[in-house]
Chain A
Amino acid sequence: MSCPPYARPLDLRDGRVDLGHGAGGRAMQQLIAQLFARAFDNSELGRGDDGAVLPAPAPGERLVMATDGHVVSPLFFPGGDIGSLSVHGTVNDLAVMGARPLWLAAGFILEEGFPLADLARIVASMAGAARAAGVRIVTGDTKVVEQGKGDGVFITTTGIGALPAGRDPGGARARPGDAVLVSGTLGDHGMAIMAQREALGFESAIVSDSAALHGLVETLYAAVPAEAIHVLRDPTRGGLASTLNEIATQSGVGMMLDERAIPVAPQVQAACELLGLDPLNVANEGKLVVICATESAEAALAALRAHPLGAAAARIGEVSADSRCFVQLRTTLGGRRMVDWLAGEQLPRIC
């Protein structure tokens, strides 16, 4: 960028997004150069071309690609914001495929009138999250929609990662007898978001668990044979319940969980009680579900617990043979019930 076509710098303090920032002209070029390229700071993006030129994977490795749209409200919440979330979301989608995340593409849909200062905060947070995760944001796209037609900022991230030979986790690989592990407390992200929503109005110290999980996954693969790890998932929307039902359906198996073993932070449990919600249905953004051969379960659990993101990891149940693919739970009371898919949107009860 030796010949910048704009005379004055972008007003990142008081400026606002306008339709020109998505029109393909000078204003858009300035936004990209003075905000995105500067924050993401890598040679691929710095070239300013329409795409990124990337090296081929090492011999024996395969490529994994994943994409994720982010529409969170509020945009800033305890423990993160839409920027870091948009990096973690796609990094985690790659990580649970067993891949090492390498590159990201980011698509921004901005609403006319959105403060550039907030956008700069979000972009800085994305850049920080990407640096921490060791991935580069190498290409992107910016569009601006008229006021009232967006919700501030929508971000879509698409990622590419490299899958080392021998790793092949997949939702269809759960087998009866396998152990079901989770890397920590459930429902933190969903309740942190809900507690922030204006309509709810309760004070809460709940912090989102938004985090990149690829380091945890690498720790796991270092501790147990790759073939022993049958399924990896991050239980995001729909929570653990929907994730386990997905896996049960894909694999044609059932599961039996032990409610007493499932970690839930007391403040999340309390907030769920208040709203009549089930923490098993509430979203997570930094938790890993591992389904592995039972003989590797204790080693896997120890590996998870040795990592900062897995300190509260727990073995919560096992895979069973069940042609109806039911996920069931032994309750703290000693009874039994199903843990079903979330039906529609998770809604609070009347009384």
Chain B
Amino acid sequence: MKYVDAFRDGALAAGLAQAIAREVEPGRDYAFMEFCGGHTHAISRYGVADLLPRTVRLIHGPGCPVCVLPVGRIDMAIRLALARPEVTLCTYADCLRIPASDGLSLLKARARGADVRMVYSAADALALAERMPEREVVFFAIGFETTTPPTARVIELAAQRGLANFSVICNHVLTPPAIEALLAAPAADSPGRPRLAGILGPAHVSVIIGSAPYAFAATRHHMPVVITGFEPLDVMQAVRMLVRQVNEGRAEVENEYTRAVTPEGNRKAQALIDAVLAPRPQFDWRGLGSLPASALRIRPAFAAWDAEVKFGLEDRPVPDHKSCACAAILCGAKAPTDCKLFGTACTPETPLGACMVSSEGACAAHYNYGRFRDPAGA
């Protein structure tokens, strides 16, 4: 396939793998965190780890929006959908199976009579509201900066069209504060977490925000960052660039994904987000705890389309399953196989933790693609 096959070429990969192997220095540990779940998925799906030297370790980070969403937010949506028969709750597919309180998920709430629907885009949710004026259509919006502009746009459109039966539960989160939290946390706060030598920066997120917002990682934390695409050769090239930064003692924000990412990002999308959404003072992240200015809410001017305001929804924090290691896995402090529940009580069919739900989650990626590497009987 044109424009895609070129980034999955086995011969190029073999050449790149040799180059990386030549460049890694003996005795050095290259622990790189791929922040984004999209990278985790690509690395697992193409078996990228098989091509890298053993001292280059790729560690999953908190960049999967499904995985970092706290249970309380899903509970909020379920309570609304079950309590208000006039509500049609729609969301992206991955959100439907996230385990919530009382053994429920949005899918299970649907089986109990809630009108829950899967949509492919925010625009589909808006169209549903226009087609069903007698229903209250609520879009459960989730994602990092990548999926935020479409949410902002549908709120703007609903306002322009005076669409009174449409509203949004906004769960959009921001990448830089999460990276800041990871880098600022003293190692003592996350025992087991390896000393990171570099970060593979997000692809689609950076298309929106650009490469400039990661500068703090390099300047304040002396952490090399390479923004990279989701194709396996992109990832390998970024690994090579990080290896070089480490070897040369540099800490810079470099951009491997120049075909899509600029330093300033997509200004139009940023302006749209800014017009409709504003930072929340605090937001809970699974794995990272409560982080200031790390998520977005709907501005008061658009309160009529803010489901949290419209339906008086309450955000009640809920602790994670006691034995679930999602929080530690999301910070790189544990591997999926370190979790007692992995592959036994927690599987893609019966996920107990969020990391097993999304195909971008560390546990689902390892379960679906990497289990053969585990010792037999594990």
Identify the A interface with B (CB < 8 A). 199-200, 260, 266, 269-270, 273, 276, 278, 323-324, 326, 328, 330-338, 340, 343-344, 347-351
Q: Is the C-beta of B311 less than 8 angstroms from some C-beta in chain A?
A: no
Scoring A269, A326, A337, A348 by chain B CB atoms within 10 A of each residue's CB, the highest score goes to A337
Q: Provide the residues of chain B in CB contact with A351, threshold 8 Å.
A: 38, 65, 143-144, 146-147, 204
Given known A200-B120, A260-B10, A343-B368, contact A333–B232 (CB-CB < 8 A): yes
Contact B4 A335 (CB under 8 A): no
Given known A343-B348, A349-B360, contact A335–B97 (CB-CB < 8 A): no
Q: Is the C-beta of B192 less than 8 angstroms from some C-beta in chain A?
A: no
Scoring A266, A270, A350 by chain B CB atoms within 10 A of each residue's CB, the highest score goes to A350
CB-nearest residue of chain A to B123:
A201
Contact B348 A344 (CB under 8 A): yes
Q: Provide the residues of chain A in CB contact with B216, threshold 8 Å.
A: none
Contact B146 A336 (CB under 8 A): no
Q: Kindly specify which of B39-47, B71-79, B182-190, B296-304 makes contact with the partner chain.
A: B39-47
Which of A328, A333, A350 makes the CB contact (< 8 A) with B147? A350
Cα distance, A328 to B373, chains bound together (Å): 11
Count, chain B residues at interface, CB 8 A: 52
Contact A333 B47 (CB under 8 A): yes
Q: Could you list 9 examples of A-B contacts with CB < 8 Å?
A: A199-B124, A269-B1, A273-B4, A331-B45, A331-B47, A337-B44, A340-B367, A343-B348, A343-B349
Measured CB to CB, the closest approach of chain B to A203, in angstroms, equals 15
Contact B1 A338 (CB under 8 A): no
Q: Is the C-beta of B370 less than 8 angstroms from some C-beta in chain A?
A: yes
Contact B371 A338 (CB under 8 A): yes
Q: Is the C-beta of B50 less than 8 angstroms from some C-beta in chain A?
A: yes
Q: Provide the residues of chain A in CB contact with B147, threshold 8 Å.
A: 350-351
Q: Provide the residues of chain B in CB contact with A328, threshold 8 Å.
A: 372
Cα distance, A335 to B38, chains bound together (Å): 18
Given known A338-B369, A338-B370, contact A324–B376 (CB-CB < 8 A): yes
Given known A273-B1, A350-B142, A350-B143, contact A333–B368 (CB-CB < 8 A): no
Cα distance, A344 to B367, chains bound together (Å): 14
Given known A331-B46, A340-B367, A350-B142, contact A276–B232 (CB-CB < 8 A): no
Contact B47 A336 (CB under 8 A): yes
Q: Provide the residues of chain A in CB contact with B58, threshold 8 Å.
A: none
Q: Is the C-beta of B49 less than 8 angstroms from some C-beta in chain A?
A: yes
Which of A270, A335, A344, A350 makes the CB contact (< 8 A) with B46? A335
Contact B51 A350 (CB under 8 A): no
Contact B13 A333 (CB under 8 A): yes
Contact B368 A349 (CB under 8 A): no
Scoring B4, B45, B47, B147 by chain A CB atoms within 10 A of each residue's CB, the highest score goes to B47
Which of B94, B142, B204 makes the CB contact (< 8 A) with A347? B94
Identify the B interface with A (CB < 8 A). 1, 4-5, 8-10, 13-14, 17, 38, 41, 44-51, 65-66, 92-94, 96-97, 118-120, 124, 142-144, 146-147, 204, 232-233, 347-349, 358-360, 364, 367-372, 376
CB-nearest residue of chain A to B351:
A343
Contact B13 A348 (CB under 8 A): no
Cα distance, A199 to B372, chains bound together (Å): 37
Having A273-B4, A337-B45, A340-B368, one finds 14 other A-B pairs with CB under 8 Å, namely A260-B10, A273-B1, A276-B359, A333-B13, A333-B47, A333-B232, A334-B51, A335-B46, A337-B369, A338-B368, A338-B370, A347-B96, A349-B359, A351-B204
Q: Provide the residues of chain A in CB contact with B50, threshold 8 Å.
A: 334-336
Measured CB to CB, the closest approach of chain A to B19, in angstroms, equals 14
Given known A326-B371, A337-B47, A338-B369, contact A199–B93 (CB-CB < 8 A): no
CB-nearest residue of chain B to A272:
B1
Cα distance, A350 to B1, chains bound together (Å): 22
Cα distance, A174 to B376, chains bound together (Å): 22
Given known A200-B120, A343-B348, contact A332–B8 (CB-CB < 8 A): yes
Q: Provide the residues of chain A in CB contact with B349, threshold 8 Å.
A: 343-344
Cα distance, A270 to B364, chains bound together (Å): 24
Cα distance, A199 to B127, chains bound together (Å): 10
Which of A266, A270, A336, A347 makes the CB contact (< 8 A) with B372? A336
CB-nearest residue of chain B to A273:
B4
Measured CB to CB, the closest approach of chain B to A330, in angstroms, equals 8
Kindly list the 7 A-B residue pairs having the minimum CB-CB distance in the complex, ordered from nearest.
Answer: A335-B47, A343-B348, A347-B93, A335-B50, A337-B369, A333-B46, A351-B146
Contact B8 A333 (CB under 8 A): yes
Measured CB to CB, the closest approach of chain B to A33, in angstroms, equals 40
Contact B369 A347 (CB under 8 A): no
Q: Provide the residues of chain A in CB contact with B41, threshold 8 Å.
A: 349
Q: Provide the residues of chain B in CB contact with A333, threshold 8 Å.
A: 8-10, 13, 46-48, 51, 232-233
Measured CB to CB, the closest approach of chain A to B303, in angstroms, equals 26
Measured CB to CB, the closest approach of chain B to A265, in angstroms, equals 10
CB-nearest residue of chain B to A337:
B369
Q: Provide the residues of chain A in CB contact with B347, threshold 8 Å.
A: 343
Cα distance, A317 to B5, chains bound together (Å): 21
Q: Provide the residues of chain A in CB contact with B124, threshold 8 Å.
A: 199
Q: Provide the residues of chain B in CB contact with A269, threshold 8 Å.
A: 1, 4
Scoring A269, A324, A344 by chain B CB atoms within 10 A of each residue's CB, the highest score goes to A344
Given known A200-B120, A347-B118, contact A340–B51 (CB-CB < 8 A): no
Cα distance, A333 to B232, chains bound together (Å): 8
